[in-house]
Amino acid sequence: MRRRDFIKKAGLATAGAFTVPYILPSGRLFAASGIRKVNHVVFCMFAGGVRNMESVDKGLGNIMPHMLLGSESVPLDIAAAIAGSPLPNLNLGYNLQSKGTLFKDFRYKKGPTGHFNGHTTAITGAYTTADLNIKDHPHTPTIFELYRKHNSPAQTARKCWWVSNTLGPYPALNFSSYGGYGAQYGANFIAPTYMFSNQGYNSIGTLKTFTSAEEAAVNNMRTFMNHNFNKSFVDGDAGITNTELDAAELQTWIDGMFSQYQGGAFNDPWGAGAAMNNDMRNIFFAEKIIDQFTPELLVVNMQDVDVAHFNFTDYAVNLHKADFAVAHLWNKIQSTPGMMDDTVMIIAPEHGRNTTGNSNIDQNGRAALDHTAPFDENFSGDQMAREIFCQVLGPATVVNQGIEIVAPVGQSIGESIDISSAIANLLGFENQIPSDILMDFNNTGIQQAFL
């Protein structure tokens, strides 16, 4: 072969090796920089403040029969309250505990035992040891930004969602103010129970439509105006910005959701009637997001158990409903092509509740519960508000099945900040994250859930 031909062919072969993508069995175009264990992670914050005493320790019997094995009897007053708000039968055919690992002595170790602090810690993998300004974005990167910045290949916000049951400070959790991260790597945030409501429909539900030619003319004028003005309303002030293509899909999806809402499809979607509470609705909408976007990272929360501040019996009933909602979500994942058998779901409260009740006594004579463990982690008094559980579900090739992890008395295994490290590890981008941002997965307690 002549030298010139050789160089030419060698050059073409090398260029081909770089440009021809390799389609992996999972359908991904390029191999991720780390080794993925699964392609989807769902983090369900079983939030609102849940004591281990009523949940995994079954002090009221097993009022979470989908998530926990066992048929311990429930006190008559609580059983009657639960029966008064009946839920349909899911017919799962299995218990979630058999599909993963249950940590019974997880901890929210540091920081105020407040809902927003707890959410911030779980979403950033960093404790907030001071009071937070609830108007601020977190000061350390969220798991959404870590995923969108470090995952390879990079994904748009279409694949990354934060679904909150309420507004207040929670919309701010979709990105941080940390240098080098921020809105450009943020998650799509939605509070669907506000959006897909009568008020939402009457505010943004019926839109003036334009033909594509009219849209093009409007774009022409808008582009001219924007070129004439020296500032942009973009990332940060404008929240996150979806790509043009994703924004069009989102608009169509929102239109479709309003159409279903108007058609009555959301009136009683699970056949639960009046038992359908805000937590269940939020999970229902998260499932709609799964249907449309099959997200790689989805964080969704529930907080109705926080009624415990005022009524203990209602707290127990809402725990029972949250258990149902989690099982419904897992069932959805396991019946969604692309996510089935390729998803790990992590379930954990943001914090617990106090040992002793407050002065609110309910109809059954039970005292309501606050969550006020002091900031000082070395405080020797009531620290029950720091005691939480964590359940990890996933394929048997990834997650240890049917395991219960209990720490020696007075100790803990696993903590809130482990969850972000686990998500980064599962999605294969942990090694790309600067070491000062997230705890090393190998030093976490939650790693015991994985093979």
Partner 1 sequence: MKKLNLFFAVVLLAGIISSCKKEYVYEVKDVKVTQPGGAKDNVKTTTEFISIVYSDLFNNNIPTDTLLYVQQSYDAFGDKKLIEDRIVRHFLNSPAVQIPADATMRANIPLFVDETIQKFFNRKPDAFENYFISDIISNSTNITPMMVYYACMTSNEYRYY
Binding site for partner 1 (CB under 8 A): 157, 162, 167, 171, 174, 186-192, 194-195, 199-200, 202-210, 213-214, 217-222, 224-226, 228-234, 237-242, 247, 250-251, 254
When the beta carbons of 211 and 359 are compared against partner 1, the nearer one is 211
Nearest alpha carbon to residue 67 among 111, 116, 100, 19: 100
* Token pair belonging to 337: 């092509």
- Least distance CB 127 / partner 1 (angstroms): 25
Q: Is 95 exposed, middle or buried (0-12, 13-18, 19+ CB in 10 A)?
A: middle
Rounded to whole angstroms, the Cα distance separating 250 from 246 reads 6
d(CA 422, CA 361): 40
C-alpha to C-alpha distance for 312 and 364, rounded to whole angstroms: 9
Q: For residues 275 and 412, what is the distance between their CA atoms, to the nearest angstrom?
A: 35
What residue type is assigned to position 263 of the chain?
A: G
Of the CA atoms within 13 Å of residue 190, those in its CB half-sphere come to: 27
Choice between 253 and 403, CB closer to partner 1: 253
Nearer to partner 1, 228 or 378 (CB): 228
Could you give phi then psi for residue 346, rounded to 5 degrees? -110, 130
Q: CA-CA distance, 398 to 404, in Å (whole number)?
A: 16
Q: Are 387 and 414 in contact (CB under 8 A)?
A: no
Task: Residue 93: count other Cβ atoms within 10 Å of its Cβ.
Answer: 6
The least distance separating partner 1 from the CB of residue 183, rounded to whole angstroms, comes to 9
Q: CB of 48 within 8 A of CB of 306?
A: yes
Q: Which is nearer to partner 1, 203 or 431 (CB)?
A: 203
- The dihedrals phi and psi of 342, each to the nearest 5 degrees, come to -135, 25
Taking the least distance from each CB to partner 1, the nearer of 33 and 241 is 241
Minimum CB separation of residue 395 from partner 1 in Å reads 30
The rounded distance, in Å, linking the Cα atoms of 58 and 416 is 21
Residues 6+ apart with CB under 8 A from 305: 47, 48, 49, 50, 315, 318, 319, 322
Q: Which is nearer to partner 1, 138 or 205 (CB)?
A: 205
Question: Given the complex with partner 1, which of 241 and 447 has the nearer CB atom?
Answer: 241
Of 310, 315, 316, give the one whose Cα is nearest residue 361: 310
Q: Min. distance of Cβ 244 from partner 1 in angstroms?
A: 11
Q: How far is the CB of 419 from partner 1 (least distance, A)?
A: 21
3-state secondary structure of 85: coil
Query: For residue 394, which phi and psi values (nearest 5 degrees)?
Result: 175, 180
Q: Which residue, 98 or 251, is less far from partner 1 as judged by CB?
A: 251
Q: Can you read off the two tokens belonging to residue 315?
A: 């707290």
Q: How far is the CB of 211 from partner 1 (least distance, A)?
A: 8
Q: What is the separation of C-alpha 288 from the centre of its chain, rounded to a whole number of angstroms?
A: 14
User: Which tokens is 211 given?
Assistant: 């033909």
CB of 400 to partner 1, least distance (A): 35
> Smallest distance, Å, CB 45 to partner 1?
17
Query: Which is nearer to partner 1, 72 or 215 (by Cβ)?
Result: 215
Beta carbon nearer to partner 1, 1 or 225: 225
CB 327, min distance to partner 1, A: 26
Q: Which two tokens stand for residue 412?
A: 């803990």
Residues across the chain = 451
CB of 204 to partner 1, least distance (A): 4
Nearer to partner 1 (CB atom), residue 140 or residue 142:
142
Fill in the DSSP letter of residue 211.
Answer: -
Name the minimum Å distance from CB 238 to partner 1. Answer: 4
